[in-house]
Amino acid sequence: MAGRPHVVLGVTGGIAAYKACELLRRLTESGHDVTVVPTASALEFVGAPTWAALSGRRVATDVWTDVHEVPHVRIGQSADLVVVAPATADLLAKAAHGIADDLLTNTLLTARCPVVVAPAMHTEMWEHPATVENVATLRRRGVLVIEPAEGRLTGADSGKGRLPEPGEIFETARDVLARSAEANVLDLAGRHVVVSAGGTREYLDPVRFLGNRSSGLQGYALARAAVARGASVTLVAANVALSDPAGVKVVRVETTAEMRDAVLAAATSADAVVMAAAPADFRPTTTATAKIKKAEDGSAPAVHLTQNPDILAEVARERPRPGSVVVGFAAETGDESGSVLEHARAKLARKGCDLLVVNDVSGGKVFGEPENEAVVLDSSGEAVPVPRASKSALAHVIWDRVVAGLVEQGPGGS
């Protein structure tokens, strides 16, 4: 695309319309040229002057303004990406049935670029068979419909239907736009993937625990990238202080045992499992019910450890869904017994997974940093080095390899 990417931001008449202001700000501040197309009902929540001030452009509100420029056709034709956030049940129904009775629905019919839709509505409306069918229709046509979040809705109601955080919608939109030249942007559509992230904790007492330095950033990048490629994503997160990625089902755990149970449960319907988390290898044989006190004589208590279950090896061995692709991570350091890659190759053979992403963590590299570099090993022995770049870039390299494996096996892992 030449020049600044042109994004159309459609806004419909839901209470979450005010959140689109933050999404608009992020898009404009990151160098995107944004045209806001609010519906008449959206303007009841947020007025046109607000959209104009934040976008720096005149707001397109109807098909009759500047009619000589044919806005109902030109806006969609010139877009590099269309994002609708929030999208009401009414908008989903109109889009699914090709109804074009205002500027936004006309734009959706004329756009030939990727379209991202972020619904927001009450749970009953989201779960209604009509909405379910409309969403399925849009997805079959190549529209990326992001799953709503769970949480507080209008009034006292809570449930699924909340608009994901604007920052997370922005990350998904930017990811889709970056891949818009790909032949199949949504190459994980119809697939369910499971990603683990973070580091587990094994408690010594109610206060202290054994843990590690995993931040969860790479696992969350993998989850975001999978959503942007059309997947249904379950993210098993251990002790991670990050915002939930848009469109992702997040299962929170603390210990390795809890992570094992959550991963195995989700893996029964998964086409791919990516174990980016750092489960603790050991746990104390006993956990004190009260805080362990310092001894008067200065002695330290002995801590006896036992080995935790090996989640990656178990998933790779059991393959809860036949034909699934299993990816492991190895945070390695070289020592006198072998190099980082030598240790990693041994781990790949031992675990039995299809791919192993190897990080050299000597000196604490990778942990908590926005960038990563790695080597991706496969079971045939091929090693693909991934130069230092964003963790999102590495995530897409991994999903490229996963998609290749799934294509070889056929749809649904069969």
Q: Which positions are catalytic?
A: 212
**How far is it, in rounded angstroms, from Cα 167 to Cα 323?**
35
Report the number of secondary-structure helices (H) and strands (E) in the chain. Answer: 13, 19
Strand boundaries in 192-266, DSSP class E: 192-198, 202-203, 209-210, 232-238, 248-253
Contact by Cβ (8 Å): 353, 326: yes
Instruction: Give the residues across from 196 on adjacent strands.
Output: 236, 275
Residue at 33: amino acid letter: D
Contact by Cβ (8 Å): 56, 28: yes
Closest to 175 in 3D by CA, of 83, 105, 240 = 83
Contact by Cβ (8 Å): 92, 118: no
Contact by Cβ (8 Å): 74, 67: no
Instruction: Give the residues across from 150 on adjacent strands.
Output: 160
Contact by Cβ (8 Å): 309, 260: yes
Give, rounded to a whole angstrom, the gap between the first and last alpha carbons of the chain. 38
**How far is it, in rounded angstroms, from Cα 267 to Cα 12?**
36
- Compute φ and ψ for 254, nearest 5 degrees: -120, -50
Contact by Cβ (8 Å): 110, 73: yes
Contact by Cβ (8 Å): 115, 82: yes
Q: Give the Cα-Cα-Cα angle 322, 328, 333 (nearest 5 degrees).
A: 160
Q: Which tokens in the block code for residue 23?
A: 């999404």
- Report the residue count for the chain: 414
Contact by Cβ (8 Å): 8, 83: yes
